[in-house]
Amino acid sequence: MDKETRYKDAGVDISAGEEAVGRIKTMVRSTFTARVLTDIGRFGGFFELDVGRYRKPVLVSSIDGVGTKLKVAMLMNRHDTVGEDLVNHCVNDIFVGGAMPLFFLDYIGTGKLSPAVIEEIISGMVRGCRNAGCSLIGGEMAEMPGFYQGGEYDVAGCIVGVAEKDRIIDGSSIRKKDVLIGLGSSGLHTNGYSLARKIFFEMAGLTVSSRVDGLAGTLGEELLRVHRCYLKIVSPLLEKYPVAGMSHITGGGIEGNTRRILPDGCRLRIDWDAWDTPVLFSTIQQYGRVPADDMRRTFNLGIGFVLILHAGDADPLLRELRQAGENPVVIGEVE
């Protein structure tokens, strides 16, 4: 029993953590605005709220993860997209209430800390934050041998934004005959991956390198397509049109998520034939013989974001979206 035992012998390498922080400092700082008062590495991130800019500011927060899409990233040995997925998902979640993002914090848990992998993950977060005008002001990297396998990791993110109290979009003004306008998704986004992986990799015996008819890239490339952020395309519209409600289509599908913002006494009528379902979703359904109702509850089916507004305001908003390069679809109405 004369041999010394160090923390590294238990699987935790503090030096690797220090190296990872050194690798990411410069790119994380690139997301800072004048409102960020602390550098990374402090016990807490300080952000000064510009209270003079708002009449009645309301802070809006959300926290989420990427789910088992991470398994695809690990199979591909590509880690520069999942951080952007995480940020975009969180931005969309607070934006549906009318909030603009202020700052973001992340958590990464791993079995064995790889500075290169951490750098890739954070590069995606930085890209997502910069695109959304959001500062990445802090985070946590936890090396947990025995809890995660050596090459595995999990990520989670917390976002804080701000909305004017009298401009919060909470669905309370939704009424009968209001129109549902859907904006396209880029793929599965960050939901339904447990079912997709089971069907593709277990039942069909495919790999991330497989080519599937109708898909532009390899199966892995298609499954790793980045979750869209709808902030830039939708936020200018809120200044012009009285949008009554917005929903971010995640787990639960179009109906499950949009129903959450309906006033009592209202329900949705979805026209499921109003748009062409992307090939990736129809392939999942075909390979797995998934019932239609389960597809609709599990996946976004090509619609990643829904706006609800009064019928008379729909046509000009649709025209403006098309002029911006979108392909919006009227997918139903409120009953």
CA angle in degrees (0–180, nearest 5) for 10-16-19: 165
Residue type, 173: S
**Listed residue (183, 190, 212, 187) closest to 301, CA to CA:** 187
Residues 6+ apart with CB under 8 A from 282: none
Task: State residue 140's pLDDT score.
Answer: 95
**Helix, strand, coil tally for the chain in percent (to 5):** 40, 20, 40
Task: State residue 81's pLDDT score.
Answer: 98
Average pLDDT value for residue range 298-311: 97
**Listed residue (247, 228, 132) closest to 188, CA to CA:** 228
pTM: 0.95
Question: Could you tell me the fold of the domain covering 179-334?
Answer: Phosphoribosyl-aminoimidazole Synthetase; Chain A, domain 2 (3.90.650)
Residue limits of CATH 3.90.650.10 in the chain: 179-334
Q: Which three-class secondary structure string do you get for 32-52? A: CCCCECCCCCCCCCCECCCHH
Residue limits of CATH 3.30.1330.10 in the chain: 7-167
In the structure, what pLDDT confidence band is assigned to residue 30 with cuts at 50, 70 and 90?
A: very high
* Separation between Cα atoms, residue 58 and residue 266, nearest integer Å: 27
CATH class of this structure's domain 7-167? alpha beta
Task: State residue 39's pLDDT score.
Answer: 92
pLDDT tens readout for residues 228-256: 999 999 999 999 999 999 999 999 999 99
CB 302 within 8 A of CB 276: yes
DSSP class per residue in 281-306: HHHHHHHHT--HHHHHHH--TTEEEE
Task: State residue 204's pLDDT score.
Answer: 95
In the structure, what pLDDT confidence band is assigned to residue 288 with cuts at 50, 70 and 90?
A: very high
Task: State residue 42's pLDDT score.
Answer: 87
CB 248 within 8 A of CB 261: no
Average pLDDT value for residue range 140-155: 92
- Cα radius of gyration rounded to whole Å, the chain: 21
CB 329 within 8 A of CB 303: yes
Question: Which helix H or strand E contains 105, and what residues bound it?
Answer: strand 100-110
Question: Which helix H or strand E contains 258, and what residues bound it?
Answer: helix 253-258
pLDDT tens readout for residues 254-271: 999 999 999 999 999 999
* Bridge partners of residue 163, in order along the sequence: 58
Which of the 8 DSSP states describes residue 83?
Answer: H
CB 308 within 8 A of CB 334: yes
In the structure, what pLDDT confidence band is assigned to residue 13 with cuts at 50, 70 and 90?
A: confident
Task: State residue 6's pLDDT score.
Answer: 85
Q: Share the mean pLDDT of the chain.
A: 95
pLDDT tens readout for residues 150-160: 889 999 999 99
The β-bridge relationship of strands 100-110 and 135-143 is parallel
Residues 6+ apart with CB under 8 A from 102: 35, 47, 49, 134, 135, 160, 161, 162
pLDDT tens readout for residues 193-234: 999 999 999 999 999 999 999 999 999 999 999 999 999 999
Task: State residue 1's pLDDT score.
Answer: 56
For the cut 60, the answer to whether the pLDDT of residue 127 exceeds it is: yes
CA angle in degrees (0–180, nearest 5) for 43-45-42: 30
The β-bridge relationship of strands 153-164 and 100-110 is antiparallel
* Separation between Cα atoms, residue 197 and residue 284, nearest integer Å: 10
- Indicate the burial class of 250 (C-beta count within 10 angstroms; 0-12, 13-18, 19 or more): buried
Task: State residue 9's pLDDT score.
Answer: 75
